[in-house]
């Protein structure tokens, strides 16, 4: 496993990364909301990449994991810019993005910002536009009125906190209303027992992507995490079989 290193982004906060050089387009893993680079999917993919000699970059957004900053200061735009900063500083040449849940939304935004370097994209229960469909109208009003909303989490003791700044940033970066100008191969994995991100969203996203090479894999008994052994095998296969540039 690559050692943790830290890079100071503009503004001074230090972002934590694990970067290992190797062959092929660098695989960049983007965690989900309130997650970090030490999750099961990131570790499984990193282990496979190390075995195959593939270059890989794992990272923590500002305010998450081992990176500096307060989580509640983060927005979708902030974290997109964190990823772009780290890619521009550390990755030489092309890269492939693997994004889990919110990380799938960020992968799309990063891909749109660096289309000439993006060779492939894998979404795991990708959640673009969740500030729109993921909240009721009353919850949206509460966010605007009180500045944040807290919800119980199924994945830990800490509640999910959504700030007004994050919600507004998400609304400003919605993608599903029109064509998404990504032309590389895309693989979308989604569990049909996902109680967080509706699996039909994967079909909507596949339709909106401009790429002609989009494959959607629906796992009938899969949940939101897709972290079982068989799910991790599907993820690794999706990344391993992405066409590489000639």
Enzyme catalytic residues: 101, 194, 224
CA distance 213 to 16: 33
CA distance 180 to 108: 8
DSSP per-residue letters across 27-61: EEEE--TT--TTSHHHHHHHHHHHHHTEEEEEE--
CA distance 149 to 212: 39
Bridge partners (DSSP) listed for residue 149: 162
Strands 95-100 and 54-59: unpaired
Q: Which candidate, 182, 48, 47, 204, places its Cα nearest to that of 120?
A: 182
């Amino acid at each position: 496993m690559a050692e943790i290193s830290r890079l100071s982004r503009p503004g001074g906060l230090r972002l934590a990364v694990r970067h290992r050089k190797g062959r092929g387009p660098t695989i960049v893993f983007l965690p989900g909301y309130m997650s970090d680079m030490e999750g099961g999917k990131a570790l499984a993919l990193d282990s496979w990449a190390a075995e195959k000699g593939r270059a890989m970059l794992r990272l923590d957004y500002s305010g998450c994991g081992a990176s500096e900053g307060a989580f509640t200061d983060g927005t979708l735009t902030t974290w997109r810019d964190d990823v772009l900063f780290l890619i521009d500083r550390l990755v030489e040449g092309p890269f492939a993005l693997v994004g889990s849940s919110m990380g799938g939304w960020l992968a799309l935004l990063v891909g749109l910002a660096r289309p000439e370097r993006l060779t492939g994209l894998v979404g795991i229960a990708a959640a673009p536009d969740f500030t729109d469909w993921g909240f009721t109208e009353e919850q949206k009003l509460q966010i605007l009125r009180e500045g944040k909303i807290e919800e119980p989490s199924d994945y830990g003791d800490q509640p999910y906190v959504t700030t007004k700044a994050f919600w507004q940033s998400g609304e400003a970066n919605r993608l599903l209303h029109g064509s998404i100008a990504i032309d590389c191969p895309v693989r979308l994995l989604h569990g049909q027992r996902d109680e967080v991100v509706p699996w039909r969203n994967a079909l909507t996203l596949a339709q909106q992507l401009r790429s002609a090479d989009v494959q959607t894999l629906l796992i009938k008994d899969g949940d939101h995490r897709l972290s079982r052994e068989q799910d991790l095998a599907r993820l690794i296969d999706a990344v391993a079989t992405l066409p590489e540039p000639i």
